[in-house]
Amino acid sequence: MIRLWDLGQQRCVHSYAVHTDSVWALASTPSFSHVYSGGRDLSLYLTDLATRESLLLCTGEHPILQLAMHDDSIWVATTDSSVHRWPAEGRNPQKAFQRGGSFLAGNLSFSRARVSLEGSTPVPVFKEPTLTIPGTPGIVQHEILNNRRHVLTKDTAGSVKLWEITRGIVVTDYGKVSFEEKKEELFEMVSIPAWFTVDTRLGSLSIHLDTPQCFSAEMYSADLNIAGKPEDDKVNLARETLKGLLAHWLAKRKQRFGSQPSANGDLLSGKDISHRSITHSRIEIDSNAENDSMVYPPFEFSTVYPPSIITEGSHGGPWRKKITDFDGTEDEKDFPFWCLDCVLNNRLPPRENTK
């Protein structure tokens, strides 16, 4: 049901029963004489608010979520990841009604109480969009595996994939197989603390790290197949993942600032940040021997398909940037301090706080 409200009277003055299910998106002409509507019934309608005449412009395979007018066309976003552009006669909507097939909108919710002007069921005016921007299938199901390094996902196309979180890539595409059967097949009898959470509500794989819980998981270097490192050395998964994510930023920072000593010749640590002049970078790289800055292969992220970091620093709101877009000028105003303290100074929260 579409409702027209009078804000002065604070009441609904007209109702238009056009759709057979919930209306989720609206867009009007600049003069507010006509309105385009779409929703759960997969259909896009054009309605004259004065005459109540409506026209079915098109139907699709997915519910409509958003509409956006552009010149004589309208962009339609659905629960599918692709975006379509349809003809809409936005500058002169009456042209669309000249094609015939219109009907009078009823005024009872979901009743389809229409008086068809031509005595027939509405037929879509347009069969195909004029342009489609293809998207990738969205993730609709996921499972974190026991090794806490892999996540199994299933997308809208039915494809099941295995992701390696510490590298941000798909390591295996199983195709259209049973998600439950593949989950059972990949089960391992191991116990590693949960150090991240997963969110797929936007159709993509988002990994959340929260301190100090994210630093609770460790593995032996032998289990990670890290060459040149003692087999019994423990590797903190979150710390190495952060180092891999910020490797490009760290390299750019070294190129831009180098190792700038303080007055007494020592490199500044996180404790000394507040004493630096605001005209200079306020984070320095701790290059002492104890700071292992090497990024190991199990934590190397792709620069061809780089992941994005979404976070917020001490100033302003959240921001998003690909890991290859960092220019080295970002500091604690942009990143959480605990993240920089881990990457630059190799410091983790006290052990008792990570349990």
Tokens of 351: 């052990």
Sequence-ordered list of residues with C-beta below 8 angstroms from that of 102, at least 6 positions apart, any chain: 53, 54, 55, 117, 118, 122
Least confident of 76-85, 122-131, 252-261, 275-284: 275-284
288-345 confidence digits (pLDDT tens) = 334 467 899 999 999 999 999 998 877 777 889 999 999 988 888 889 889 999 998 8
Amino acid identity for residue 67 in this structure: L
* Separation CA 276–CA 283 (nearest Å): 9
* Separation CA 298–CA 206 (nearest Å): 19
CB-CB contact of 167 with 306 (8 Å): no
Whether the pTM exceeds 0.75: the reply is no
Q: For residue 101, is it left (φ>0), alpha (ψ between -120 and 50) or beta?
A: left
CB-CB contact of 237 with 217 (8 Å): yes
* Separation CA 216–CA 236 (nearest Å): 8
235-258 confidence digits (pLDDT tens) = 999 999 999 999 999 999 988 877
